[in-house]
Structure 1
Amino acid sequence: MKNFLFISDFDGTLTDEDFYYIIMKKFLGDKGREIYRDWTNGKMTVFEFLKTIFGSTNESEEEIIKAVMDIKFDTYAKDLIKSIEEANGEFMILSAGCSYYIHKLLEHLDIKNIKVITNNGVYEDGKINMTADKNSPFYSETYGVDKALVAEHYKSMYPKLYYAGDSEPDFRASRKADIVFARGHLQKMLRDSGDDFVAVENFNEVGLYLNQMGVIKYESRK
């Protein structure tokens, strides 16, 4: 049995910014801003918004892959993942984005054997076609993947659960964890709800905290 499970969100947690924002900046212009306004005005769910953004490009796959390579992945994350594995822990990515860009980037970074739970995504006809698995026990109409259901399911399978996230889709899931590492808006949400969390800006800070707790062996990286 593994000693613990570390679940991390992808966009905005393992990365500096959400991939949808890169797509909007590079390819969509005013159209992207209009879609974004519709979402923030409550006219579509998170899943509908992302599906629409990813489905609004008209680019070659080469150009889409170049956009994926623009994703700034946390420079400390690979070392943390290695330390987690060496401590007989497991690292999982849990995302309301889609598999296409996550797997492309992980492959590029040579990060292997990581379990990823997310929505499906394939390149076709100039765009990323994002779909949800409605037969999944973790299906959510709002997000495609209900992160809280995933966290609840896996919590019963490991002695300890650690969670890292940055935004609203992570809120309910993070409350299932023994320790939450929060970035961005998730910090305010957990503070407002009275839940404990560890505020972090990168995975070096996560590694140092878990090292201090005796969970893993990790040294500060510059």
Structure 2
Amino acid sequence: MEVRKKIAVFSDFDGTISEKDVCYLLLEKYADFNWQEIDKKWIDGELSTEEAYRTMLGKIDLKKSEFDRFIDNVKIDESFVIFYEFCRSNSIEIEIVSDGLDYYIKRILGKYGITDISIHTNHLEFDGETWVLQFNNTAAKLCPKKNNPCGFCKIEPVLKKKNDGFITVYIGDGASDRCPATVSDYLFAKGYLANYCRDNNIIHREFKSFEDIKNTLKEILYE
């Protein structure tokens, strides 16, 4: 059967592809301060992603080697691997959009043999043992949260594909997924994002695994 539509899939990483939010796991394990209060201010729009990250990660003393060991224990929803291959074999574009950090996303996905997927996110590198964070100011300018924007606002790549004539599919679970939720043609949500969509009358489909989404994508492809 011949594919007739241009489809672009965008997936959040933390808590969507990964079983749990990597930054939350990191803070739960290593933070000795009230990071939940800082996180709440970020969710409520009182802090930008950059401010929240620099405040919280700046208080954690963690060597790169220890961080790597921590990352290597993070698991993903393994149905994503099958979903990723399904997208590739059906000429569906798939990209990861995250307000997290590229360093751990690439390392975690690499364990599962996924090394060539497009990733839009914030940047982390190490200068010796010093954490060096970089944020995408261009994407942040498009963020609906003008005063305290996302570090990488996910609305940018979604709108770009829509303007290029793609049907856009968004998959997410968290607070940073609110921005693209209202501009995507199809929205799959769970957790915080699903609750937010219900509270704000945003049309969405709830999911438990990427297998659920794959079945719906088949319908979109050939309907």
* 1:53-68 matches, cutoff 5 A: 53-68=56-71
Matched, 1:22 2:25: yes
Cα gap change, 1:137 to 1:214, in 2 (>3 Å): closer
User: Shift of residue 57 of structure 1?
Assistant: 2.8
Match of 1:6 in 2: 9
Q: TM-score, normalised by structure 1?
A: 0.85
* Alignment partner of 1:84 out of 83, 87, 98: 87
Deviations 1:21-57 (CA, angstroms, capped at 9, x unpaired):
12112222x22xx233134246633332223333333
Match of 1:148 in 2: 155
Deviations 1:87-119 (CA, angstroms, capped at 9, x unpaired):
111110000111111111122221022111111
2:179 partner amino acid: R
Among the aligned pairs, what percent are the same residue? 21
Cα gap change, 1:25 to 1:214, in 2 (>3 Å): same
Match of 1:111 in 2: 114
Q: CA RMSD in A?
A: 2.3
With 119-128 and 82-91 compared, the bigger mean Cα shift is at 119-128
The gaps in structure 1 that reach 5 residues or longer are: 217-222
Cα gap change, 1:10 to 1:86, in 2 (>3 Å): same
**In 1: Cα distance, 2:167 partner to 2:72 partner:** 33
2:173 partner amino acid: D
Cα gap change, 1:58 to 1:127, in 2 (>3 Å): farther
Match of 1:220 in 2: none
CA contact (8 A) 2:27 2:35 kept: no
Q: TM-score, normalised by structure 2?
A: 0.84
* Partner SS, residue 10 of structure 2: strand
**In 2: Cα distance, 1:50 partner to 1:11 partner:** 15
With 91-100 and 1-10 compared, the bigger mean Cα shift is at 1-10
Matched, 1:190 2:223: no
User: Shift of residue 2 of structure 1?
Assistant: 7.6
2:37 partner amino acid: R
Match of 1:121 in 2: 124
* Partner SS, residue 25 of structure 1: helix
**In 1: Cα distance, 2:74 partner to 2:103 partner:** 13
* Partner SS, residue 169 of structure 2: strand
CA contact (8 A) 1:10 1:94 kept: yes
User: Shift of residue 181 of structure 1?
Assistant: 0.7
Cα gap change, 1:24 to 1:108, in 2 (>3 Å): same
How many residues align structurally?
211
Cα gap change, 1:127 to 1:69, in 2 (>3 Å): farther
**In 2: Cα distance, 1:166 partner to 1:126 partner:** 32
Segments ≥4 residues shifted beyond 4 Å: 137-141
Matched, 1:35 2:35: yes
The gaps in structure 2 that reach 5 residues or longer are: none
* Alignment partner of 1:200 out of 203, 207, 213: 207
* Alignment partner of 1:165 out of 172, 183, 189: 172
Matched, 1:52 2:55: yes
